[in-house]
Structure 1
């Protein structure tokens, strides 16, 4: 009878290891392959999104054709506070994009050092002398865009409040409906109870809004006890929500979002600027403060204006300059010949 050879326990263990190694290696190789494929697919997708974003930015870019009060590139690279003038055209809803007067005007500041965003609405009927068009004085602030476009509006706002405007963005407010839909809708607590455009709102009742609902919410003016100032509050509220939802990666990485941005926005923020904004300023949306410049009704030659007291203008100038980490300075005056903007940092 032939006996099987006897092995020491250590030899048996070693032999088991020798047999198991090729199988582990095969599993490990398969796992690496799967990871590589998944990462490759992910980066290809990111590359696709990157290219789409680059193309979209090229299409929405429109120079203001003015010399800025500050070196915007240095500000972005250093991650310093910046300002953006947001303008909503009042004609987009009927198909005439980016023409006419600005129905909405907001000075937005982003301070990454404090992780804070400040939103200040300006009355569209504010009494001003439009820079470069003083012969038309008295004028309304919202006529600056109609007279000379984004560059003229930037200069006028700068001179009006003695603040630097680093960038601008003009949004087709008629297209706000599609913008809200593109970020998946927004959730808002209405500031008052009213019905408009087939939609009803209840004060302080949390409401999920799609684009059509949000547009109705911001367009109503005559039934608001605060008039245009009430509408400004609602506009700030909705734009803030859109900004919050728009910073979510899942909202940005959609073809629909790119298509809507391309149709509804014009800005002098370049693609590289946007990359820096995404990298260094994204946290500012976590802490938002909103305010508005309060005027008083004034009738001049049968035309209604909003005359803003010097003390109120100074208050808003102080607020915006502080949010930009700039030294205090006297508020502006559009009737003065000097167009020098104080940009001294603290």
Structure 2
């Protein structure tokens, strides 16, 4: 029997249709498996490796706030830990998130700020609270210093900052000071004015430099805020979707927080637009030597001002 030309045309089309459907099905299943793998890996990493409660923060109260999409205060600690040393919090920032106003506020507390160390009963540099009593004492000390309530904390080892920048594929930011780094990680780099792109090691040189900055530690903390904002922007971008697994691994090895996986999902879902309006501020003070030790003396008026800035977010 002779095959009709119309039948000969239909068979290849049907075959290609089946092949196309099979390819789509494989892609969908592959993406689904990849998404589940990321989800499972993230949940396990957060809840089993990163999650750590502190006695100075009530987890129940914090969960109620995040569940109702209330404004939150989060203490960010950049900790420099070395072998045989408890470490110090070289970077202290209070991150305030207001989902209703779509606002994010980042306030830096200079590490040399002189204040009462809660639990120690003495006046000292605020970053020494971590060396004396870890995250718990740091949280209590910052709350007492500013007269505010902290809902969560996020502690990052400074080494992890470099790894995170590489995990997201590098960052881009606007640099205000021209200088040549003599070689963090033994590699010199020219930090030119204007928009610059940085990898992990270059970022560490960028945030650690102090002596070449006419504003000293104030300039350094400003650069730290810029790096954090750049990482948040890059990490939240669509281009970084394929890097999620790497980011999760870096966080698992270098971060501690009292946020659990469900808390983080709520933040991603309900607080994602706070980046639309970002405010950055650095607490001001005057340097003074007491007993031969350098401190930054922050006047009561400045503390009251910052307290007001945070209270306004929380209202």
Normalised by the length of structure 1, the TM-score is: 0.81
**Contact 1:69 1:164 (C-alpha < 8 Å) held by counterparts:** no
**Which of 84, 96, 101 is the matching residue for 1:114?**
101
**Contact 2:75 2:150 (C-alpha < 8 Å) held by counterparts:** yes
Distance 1:61 1:42 in 2: 28
**Which of 177, 184, 195 is the matching residue for 1:192?**
177
CA positional deviation for 1:298: 2.1
Structure 2 CA distance for partners of 1:44 and 1:250, relative to 1, 3 Å: farther
Distance 2:217 2:197 in 1: 24
Distance 1:310 1:258 in 2: 41
Structure 1 unaligned blocks of 5 or more: 1-19, 327-346
Distance 1:252 1:265 in 2: 20
**Which of 113, 128, 145 is the matching residue for 1:126?**
113
Q: CA RMSD in A?
A: 2.5
Q: Which has the higher strand share?
A: 2
**Which of 238, 258, 268 is the matching residue for 1:278?**
268
Structure 2 CA distance for partners of 1:66 and 1:312, relative to 1, 3 Å: closer
CA positional deviation for 1:215: 0.9
Q: Secondary structure at the match of 1:138?
A: strand
Equivalent residue runs for 1:4-43 within 5 Å:
33-43=22-32
Q: Secondary structure at the match of 2:210?
A: coil
Larger Cα-atom Rg? 1
**CA deviations over 1:176-202 (Å, ceiling 9, x no partner):** 111111111011121211122222212
Q: Could you say which residue in structure 2 is the equivalent of 1:63?
A: 53
**Contact 2:98 2:271 (C-alpha < 8 Å) held by counterparts:** yes
State whether structure 2 residue 278 is matched by structure 1 residue 288.
yes
Q: Could you say which residue in structure 2 is the equivalent of 1:331?
A: none
Structure 2 CA distance for partners of 1:188 and 1:67, relative to 1, 3 Å: closer
Distance 2:80 2:256 in 1: 14
Q: Could you say which residue in structure 1 is the equivalent of 2:253?
A: 263
**Contact 2:213 2:219 (C-alpha < 8 Å) held by counterparts:** yes
CA positional deviation for 1:175: 2.5
**CA deviations over 1:132-152 (Å, ceiling 9, x no partner):** 111xx2211001111111111
Structure 2 CA distance for partners of 1:124 and 1:112, relative to 1, 3 Å: same
Structure 2 CA distance for partners of 1:181 and 1:96, relative to 1, 3 Å: farther
Distance 2:249 2:59 in 1: 32
Q: Could you say which residue in structure 2 is the equivalent of 1:209?
A: 198
Q: Could you say which residue in structure 2 is the equivalent of 1:157?
A: 142
Q: Secondary structure at the match of 2:117?
A: coil
State whether structure 2 residue 189 is matched by structure 1 residue 173.
no
State whether structure 2 residue 217 is matched by structure 1 residue 232.
no
CA positional deviation for 1:37: 3.2
**Contact 2:57 2:150 (C-alpha < 8 Å) held by counterparts:** no
Q: Could you say which residue in structure 1 is the equivalent of 2:127?
A: 142
**Contact 2:160 2:251 (C-alpha < 8 Å) held by counterparts:** no
Distance 2:69 2:78 in 1: 27
Distance 1:151 1:190 in 2: 34
Q: Which runs of 4+ in 1 moved over 4 A?
A: 20-34, 94-97
Distance 2:53 2:84 in 1: 20
State whether structure 2 residue 66 is matched by structure 1 residue 81.
no
Q: Secondary structure at the match of 1:121?
A: strand
CA positional deviation for 1:95: 5.6
Aligned residues: 304
**CA deviations over 1:29-52 (Å, ceiling 9, x no partner):** 666554443322211110000011
Structure 2 CA distance for partners of 1:140 and 1:69, relative to 1, 3 Å: farther
Distance 2:258 2:146 in 1: 21
